[in-house]
Structure 1
């Protein structure tokens, strides 16, 4: 992002955090920056547009930290969750103004684009919780996903609020491990009790649509990715288990990149393709090359 545009976003966050969106004027934001008022309108059409851009930019930054990094591809699901929690806590500490604004600002009755964006953020957050629950606990949690996701989200909230409003200092690794142990307690209890789920099940396909993720069915890149994955599985005897695990993890991370709505991690996608090309046999190179060309054409490798 252009430096000047980011400076405006940062100044707007500070002003919105102090006074709220409605009570903050464009003049106060330019005073915070020490720049001409007309400069803001070069980048943003209105205060509403600026507010939407603030939520969008920092929201995407946070979700990038909540996804896997290349060096984490082969890690067990529990370790991935701990690392992603640690990054979330670090983001909160680094961007206290943004997080305080996001929690305290009433978002009803605002710009329609903002309402749509908040629906997207909530859908992506829910899918993130569901993804980790299924990765860690497998099929045993499927009948209790909504209750488990609600508890998953709820155990973290008090700690976020202590960080934001009480400026609580903590060991992020210790907290992440503690939260995972508590999540184990909650999910294990739900599964063992075998009670009927209280919250109604959500349509995950509809959630993906609301989150802005690409549809898997009919998607050229997803079809090519599935073809490559099938061939990698069929040729597993040609490589050791460690390499095979790395290749499957690379395919999983590529899938996550393909379905993201924007601000894709181009470095990660290129790294995963390089790993695949290094280890797959010649028989898989043709569909893998077609996948790479498709990803490049659609902006995943820009």
Structure 2
């Protein structure tokens, strides 16, 4: 096992046992057989190590669920059910770690962590929409966002309940219940109207990012006068029916030069 993976393994152990804030870089490094100084050759900080662990967990779930398609003996609904079971199994297998995540990282804890969770939520939503479409076909397309929201909400509430209350349930039984619930809703779609729209969600995400960038600029008192006019121009241009693409791109490049804005501006760029 390479040293980077060993550090991640030891970090999961200590974070699960002691919590993120109570675990020191020294402890993780020592358990991995290296010095504290050598730790920083692999990760910039304890927070960046935590982010890498969360990203790896998410990527492993996406990879494992994607592989289910190669099991030819399963019908589309069985594939969907198995994907849900994998999500449940992987979270419950690491329930102590995720208990620490829920306790140690409230939304306001860190802008970087909050951005990570938002990014993962967007990725999970896209994955769930894809899985629902593959399981139930084109008839559900107008309802994809609603169905994915219901699915994500069910999973999240079950995870919170099972992790905080240390309840033992069968992932297969739970996935069957969730799959059956989504299936039951799908069977009633002829009598329902969509509530959420992709366009509105897109606009809401973009507006939320713009607000976050503006707040950061306001806090950068020394750079406020330089950055705010460019940001206001960008916001005005994006509000037009036909924004000038060259101007938007130039303003994005300019704002990204400020390191504290770079991550959010990159996310905004994907929504334009």
TM-score of Structure 1 vs Structure 2, range by shorter chain: 0.5 to 0.7
TM-score, with normalisation over the residues of structure 1? 0.57
Any residues of structure 2 matched to 1:34-73 within 5 Å, and which? 35-69=34-68, 71-73=70-72
**Structure 2 stretches of 5 or more lacking a match?**
204-272
Aligned to 2:131: 132
Q: Per the alignment, in what secondary structure is the counterpart of residue 161 of structure 1? A: helix
Aligned to 2:80: 81
1:45-100 Cα offsets, whole Å, 9 max, x none, are 22232122122222212222222336414632111112112222221232223322
1:110 aligns with 2:110: yes
User: What CA RMSD, in Å, does the superposition of the two structures yield over aligned residues?
Assistant: 3.0
CA distance in structure 2 between the aligned counterparts of 1:70 and 1:154, rounded to whole angstroms = 24
TM-score, with normalisation over the residues of structure 2? 0.62
- 1:65/1:88 contact within 8 Å kept: no
1:126-180 Cα offsets, whole Å, 9 max, x none, are 1111112222222322222222211122222333234322332222222222221
1:198 aligns with 2:195: yes
Aligned to 1:9: 8
Report the Cα offset of residue 116 of structure 1: 4.7
Any residues of structure 2 matched to 1:1-302 within 5 Å, and which? 2-18=1-17, 20-30=19-29, 33=32, 35-69=34-68, 71-73=70-72, 75-104=74-103, 105-108=105-108, 110=110, 112=112, 114-189=113-188, 191-195=189-193, 197-202=194-199
CA distance in structure 2 between the aligned counterparts of 1:156 and 1:55, rounded to whole angstroms = 17
- 1:48/1:111 contact within 8 Å kept: no
CA distance in structure 2 between the aligned counterparts of 1:45 and 1:109, rounded to whole angstroms = 18
**Structure 1 stretches of 5 or more lacking a match?**
207-302
- 2:68/2:83 contact within 8 Å kept: no
CA distance in structure 2 between the aligned counterparts of 1:111 and 1:44, rounded to whole angstroms = 18
CA distance in structure 2 between the aligned counterparts of 1:131 and 1:181, rounded to whole angstroms = 18
CA distance in structure 2 between the aligned counterparts of 1:156 and 1:8, rounded to whole angstroms = 29
